[in-house]
Amino acid sequence: MVYRNNTLEFRPTFEELKQRYYKEISIFITIPLKFNGVSDRGDSSIYKLMPDQNAAHLGTVYFKAEELFTKLQGLTREYLPWACLGNVDLNAFIEQNFTSVQDWDDNF
C-alpha cells in the first residue's frame, strides 16, 4: 500500500493482486497433474484424479480468498485517517495555529 495522489493505493493494484493470487491457486491445484509417480510402470493416473476428487473443496478455497481480499480492503480503511495527514499543508497549518512560543513547546 502506498500513498500517492492524495490517496492510498495498492502497488501492484488491487485487481493485479487478486489476479496473481488466483493464478497461483490455479497453478497449485494443477501440480498433481505433473507428477509421474514412483512405480516402475510410471502409473500417474492416481495423481491425475486428485484435482477432480477435491473439486468440492475449491469453493472453500475461493471463499477464503475473498475473505482475505475483504480484509485487505479493510486495511485501506484502517490507514485512511493517517493518510489524511498527507493532505494538510503543514506550513499553512503552523502559521495559522502556532502563535506563541508556548505552542511550539507544547507540540514539539
Residue 105 pLDDT: 86
Q: Is the pLDDT of residue 40 over 70?
A: no
Mean pLDDT of 99-106: 86
Mean pLDDT of 13-25: 95
Q: Is the pLDDT of residue 25 over 90?
A: yes
Residue 39 pLDDT: 65
Band the pLDDT of 20: cuts 50, 70, 90. very high
Q: Distance (Å, rounded) from C-alpha 29 to C-alpha 51? A: 6
* Radius of gyration for the chain, computed over Cα atoms and rounded to the nearest angstrom: 26
Q: How far is CA 63 from the centre of its chain?
A: 15
Q: Distance (Å, rounded) from C-alpha 8 to C-alpha 72? A: 12
